[in-house]
Amino acid sequence: MSKYNALWEHVRNNESNTFKLTFEEIEQISGIPIDHSFLKYKKELMEYGWQVGKISMKEQTVVFQRMD
Give tens-digit pLDDT for 8-36: 999 999 999 999 999 999 999 999 999 99
Number of domains in the chain: 1
In terms of residue numbers, what domain contains 38?
A: 5-66
Contact 30, 3 (CB under 8 A): yes
What percent of the chain stands above pLDDT 70? 100
Contacts of 46 (CB under 8 A, 6+ apart): 67
Contact 12, 50 (CB under 8 A): yes
pTM reported for the whole predicted model: 0.90
